[in-house]
Amino acid sequence: MKEIVISFAALAAMPLIAGVTMPKFDLGENVRVFSPEDGLENIHRATEAVFQRQHKRQFGPERQAFLFLPGDYSKMKTVNVGYYTQILGLGRSPRDVKLSNVKTPAALDKNNATCNFWVGIENVSIADTDNNADPYFNFQWAVSQAAPARRLYVSRKAVFDWFYGWASGGFVADCVFEKQAGSYSQQQYFYRNDSFNAGIYGINWNQVVVGCAGDFASRSKDGAKMLSECAPTGTEGVSSNWRAGGCTTVVGETPVVREKPFLFVDGDAFKVFVPAIRRGSKGVSWGEGKANGGMGEGKILDLARDFYVAKEKKDDAKSINAALVAGKNILFTPGIYHVDEPIKVTKPGTVVLGIGEATIVPENGDAALKCADADGIVIAGLIFDAERASKRFVVVGDGKTKVRHSKSPAFLIDLVYRVGGTGKPGKTEVCLEVNSNDVVVDHTWIWRADHGDHTGWTANKSKNGIVVNGDGVTCYGLFVEHFQEHDVLWNGEDGRVFFLQNEKCYDPPGNETWMSHGGKKKGYAAYKVADGVKRHYAVGLGVYDVFINTNGNSVFLDDAIEVPDAPGVVIENACTVEIANGEGPLVGINAIVNGHGHAIKTGKGSGGGYAIQRVYRYSAGKADIAPDYYRR
């Protein structure tokens, strides 16, 4: 199949619809800007050629962004999306770009989407058909980690798996679904500030719904249980059907959030919209009657005037840092950027935005990116890769401070961190260190690779995924996996976490060496709140045992979660799941939190096997525990 590459020069000469003009701005060779006037068949051939090249290249070097100018593409064939590809609409509203359908076919055999990573879709609408009963005609966003869907208007039924094959997690925010959305084979899922007009369904282990609107509470199924069976958990504004046998937690309002900045076109110019901070919000940020032509509250920046546009092979840390010192925001176009010094974001209100899975690789032994302790910084849409030893990937704030930023927090949005797997050896002590107060993390996957090249206990070494030292830090959609000590280490006060997906490391060598607390406890808890913390809240936590690469050694973890026994520290709806090999050595997790909650175990002669164990609530040494799965 011959790939169709449409040049900016050719597009600029084409007449466009409804007064839209091709912006006279070059975003580089890895960005393709489409208009309906280009010919729908030409556009489909171009997108399909990229998909065919990228579909199986999980650790490949190519990065790609498809930008769709406002218009009607609903007669075009389905756009298939493979690795390192992002779809972005350039309208003020998702309704301005109307696509027929989008799919993410499973990258593994047997419809398995558990390795569908590193893709994204934003600011488009998906048209409807009359065949929603057939999954073939559904909007199939069959993904797992690091594949956010944002700011969508979806008219057809949405399915988050590939023809009922396994998938392992997802993040959907600021979207409207007119028909049912969900998956019967997804393991866990996180929704934030969405509107569901015909219900959500499915999900097996842990589903968290924060600040969402619509009729989902009365019309949705969660396994065999209705969301209408949700009952208050004891925390204001939080309800759950866990006690009724379900797996869903509903948080009525989102405490504080800022939606992700995005590109749009205004006349013949690219602009960037930076949404305003919302507090106590419910439902989407955009729509009819909203400010800025339906975009919602926020500010509009001019790409040519206010941003430095970084391009692969052209820019490095020196040129990017010079632009930041000059007061510019940064747009990273798709590509891989090797930095021989940390990128330094120092000015309040700076926006650093990546598109097309832009990737930063530190080659300085220190960090990829450092943020000053300043108001209103936004870092969004980037991958950070370890290809050499680096102390950390991203650092926010220089150290512990009393300066507060509650009125204008820093936001870290859609950031992905990878240690190993990519073809070159990589090591880091900590992927993300948050020292500033009031920072908001809105979706992240922090991953010590369990597969790919240069993986193993002594190969891709990394102690912690995220270390939080600041106070008042909030996380939505926290995906952190496989680290050698605590995946999450929380030292600050007043932390809040809404949803955790965690698999413990696959490859601990055995409890002779994998011990914590001075050799007194087996393994390292996935979620650790430091002993001196007085106030902390976390809800919807899943920690899974996949001890399968232990060189035949038996391995156990004593506690999935460790927290201080203080009245102000509350854990709600926490579970562990046993998914390790039943024919292997004896492995498992002995308790869910602080010695409470039934064990999971597997291996020859264990008497265990697959299981899910739950704790409904834990605080100050008291646990409310679900019945033992093995004794049902």
Q: Quick one: pLDDT band at residue 17, thresholds 50, 70, 90?
A: very low
pLDDT of residue 431: 97
In order of 35, 39, 232, 308, 543, the CA distances from 15 in angstroms are 9, 12, 56, 28, 54
509 pLDDT band, cuts 50/70/90, is very high
Query: Is the pTM of the predicted complex or chain greater than 0.85?
Result: yes
How confident is the model at residue 538, as a pLDDT? 98
- The confidence score (pLDDT) of residue 229 equals 82
The DSSP output letter for 259 is P
Predicted confidence at residue 225, as pLDDT, reads 60
Residue 238 to residue 232: CA distance in whole angstroms: 6
Computed over its alpha carbons, how large is the radius of gyration of the chain?
A: 23
Tokens 């998914």 appear where? 579
Percent of residues, the chain, with pLDDT higher than 70: 95
- The catalytic site residues sit at 503
- pLDDT tens track for 517-527: 999 999 999 99
Query: Model confidence at 129, in pLDDT bands (50, 70, 90)?
Result: confident
Q: What's the rounded Cα separation, in Å, for the pair 357 and 328? A: 21
Mean pLDDT for the stretch of residues 600-626: 97
How far is CA 253 from each of CA 209, 218, 279, rounded to the nearest angstrom?
10, 18, 8
For 389-448, the pLDDT digits (tens) are: 889 999 999 989 999 999 999 999 999 999 999 988 889 999 999 999 999 999 999 999
428: its two tokens: 């880091």
In angstroms, the CA 248 to CA 202 distance is 10
- The yes-or-no verdict on residue 6 having pLDDT over 70 is no
> Which residue has better confidence, 370 or 581?
370
Rounded alpha-carbon distances, angstroms, from residue 337 to 105, 362, 568:
28, 8, 43
**CA-CA distances (angstroms) from residue 174 to 19, 47, 99, 193?**
27, 25, 18, 5
Q: Is the pLDDT of residue 386 over 80?
A: yes
According to the model, what pLDDT value does residue 25 have?
85
Is 70 exceeded by the pLDDT of residue 217? no
pLDDT beyond 80 at 333: yes
pLDDT score of 107: 97
Structure tokens at 458: 């002594």
CA distance 603 to 494: 39
| End-to-end CA, the chain | 55
Is the predicted pLDDT of residue 218 greater than 90, yes or no?
A: no
Dist CA 181 CA 153 (whole Å): 12
Q: What is the mean pLDDT of the chain?
A: 93
**Taking 60 as the threshold, does the pLDDT of residue 10 lie above it?**
no
The pLDDT of residue 387 is 83
Query: Cβ–Cβ contacts within 10 Å for residue 520, how many?
Result: 8
* 239-295 tens-digit pLDDT: 999 999 999 999 999 999 999 999 999 999 999 999 999 999 999 999 988 999 899
* Residue 577 scores a pLDDT above 60: yes
Domain edges within the chain: 8-256
Provide the CB-side half-sphere exposure for 612 (13 A, CA). 15
198: left (phi over 0), alpha (psi -120 to 50) or beta: alpha
**pLDDT given for residue 226 in this prediction:** 63
**pLDDT for the residue numbered 23:** 82
* Inter-residue contact 615 to 600 (CB < 8 Å): no
Length of the chain: 632
Q: What is the pLDDT of residues 352-379, one digit of tens each?
A: 999 999 999 999 999 999 999 999 999 9
Instruction: Give the whole-angstrom CA distance, residue 469 versus residue 434.
Output: 6
User: Hunting for tokens 């943020």 — which residue is that?
Assistant: 371
Please check the confidence at residue 482 and state whether its pLDDT lies above 50. Answer: yes
Residue 5: per-residue pLDDT = 36
**Number of Cβ atoms within 10 Å of the Cβ of 603:** 21
Tell me how far apart the alpha carbons of residues 210 and 71 are, in angstroms, rounded to a whole number.
32
Q: Which residue from 504, 612, 480, 614 is spatially nearest to 558, judged by alpha carbons?
A: 504
Average pLDDT over residues 131-152: 94
The pair of three-digit structure tokens given for residue 398, joined into one six-digit string? 């220089």
The CA-based angle 134-138-144, given to 5 degrees, is 120
Band of residue 9 on the pLDDT scale cut at 50, 70, 90: very low
**In this structure, are strands 79-80 and 102-103 parallel, antiparallel, or unpaired?**
parallel
Q: Note the pLDDT of residue 345.
A: 98
Cβ proximity of 296 and 262 under 8 Å: no
Residue 214: pLDDT over 60: yes
Is a pLDDT exceeding 60 seen at residue 12?
A: no
